[in-house]
């Protein structure tokens, strides 16, 4: 079972290049805090802007730095099935545990096309596959019926659920097999989804106030709903701030302000957050320190 709090880690850049020193420092920082899994090469990691050599080195460095302390699932997705299969062959020499593969974007396949796509990906690897359903980015929604059909495939082990529909998400939790993991990708719904039986979350927001996100999961594991609610309370106003402008720009600003990365730099077409949002974020954390 894929459970707990997983970090879709950012990719730090400095002067246009991947900042591997900051990247490895981030991994050590979040492992020390107690995250349950690591997800490099997601969209929070700006994977569309990385070339193959950079992606390969990030995977290699992730596996070497983690050194088996938590599972590593690598983002491997495309809107062309053959490209995913090719990427899997290219990366197979690295000892990561599984992949996170997004629904094909832009070309808007039918449900039978989505099912065939993920069946082909699962057949192309002996590693675990976590499907990523995020219709508001891909323009296609993997219906629960299709997802539950795919859950019957041995190495399709779960979903990062960012369906954008609380009704769809709750129905999925009610219908899913016991050995199929639902991890929410909707940061603002982490408490709600955990309260309704989700196995965990893959949350960009957990780059910040990580201990609080971990505590929410620990409280639910003890059936302490009141304690989970108390742990969640200071996170509720944070999450909208982190997504007020394009992810991961606000997160990188805060990581830079904490000295965890050398620069808040993103790659075009992403830039930096506005001065106004920077002031709001800095003020939010200044108030926390003063409290």
Q: Which residues are catalytic?
A: 132, 160
Residue from 98, 109, 117, 104 nearest 158 by CA: 98
Tokens 């909208």, located at residue: 240
**Interatomic CA distance for residues 251 and 176, integer angstroms:** 32
Instruction: Name the phi and psi angles at 49, rounded to 5.
Output: -95, 0
Dist. CA 124–CA 94, nearest whole Å: 15
Q: Which tokens belong to 65?
A: 């730095």
């Amino acid at each position: 079972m894929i459970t707990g709090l997983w970090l879709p880690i950012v990719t730090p850049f400095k002067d246009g290049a991947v900042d591997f020193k900051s990247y490895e420092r981030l991994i050590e920082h979040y492992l020390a805090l107690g995250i349950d899994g690591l997800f490099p090469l997601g969209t929070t990691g700006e994977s569309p802007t990385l070339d193959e050599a950079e992606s390969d080195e990030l995977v290699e460095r992730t596996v070497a730095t983690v050194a088996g302390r938590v599972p590593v699932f690598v983002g491997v997705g495309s809107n062309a099935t053959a490209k995913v299969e090719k990427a899997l062959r290219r990366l197979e020499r690295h000892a990561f545990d599984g992949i996170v593969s997004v629904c094909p974007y832009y070309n808007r396949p039918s449900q039978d096309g989505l099912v065939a796509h993920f069946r082909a990906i699962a057949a192309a690897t002996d590693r675990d596959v976590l499907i990523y359903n995020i219709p508001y980015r891909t323009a296609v929604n993997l219906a629960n019926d299709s997802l539950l059909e795919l859950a019957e495939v041995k190495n399709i082990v779960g979903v990062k659920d960012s369906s954008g529909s609380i009704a769809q998400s709750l129905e999925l939790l009610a219908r899913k097999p016991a050995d199929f993991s639902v991890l929410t990708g909707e940061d603002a719904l982490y408490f709600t989804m955990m309260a309704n039986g989700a196995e965990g979350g893959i949350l960009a927001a957990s780059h910040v106030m990580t201990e609080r996100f971990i505590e929410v999961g620990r409280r639910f594991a003890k059936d302490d709903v009141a304690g989970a609610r108390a742990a969640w309370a200071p996170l509720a106003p944070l999450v909208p701030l982190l997504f007020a402008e394009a992810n991961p720009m606000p997160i990188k600003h805060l990581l830079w302000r904490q000295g965890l990365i050398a620069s808040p730099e993103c790659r075009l077409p992403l830039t930096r957050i506005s001065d106004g949002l920077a002031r709001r974020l800095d003020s939010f954390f200044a108030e926390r320190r003063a409290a």
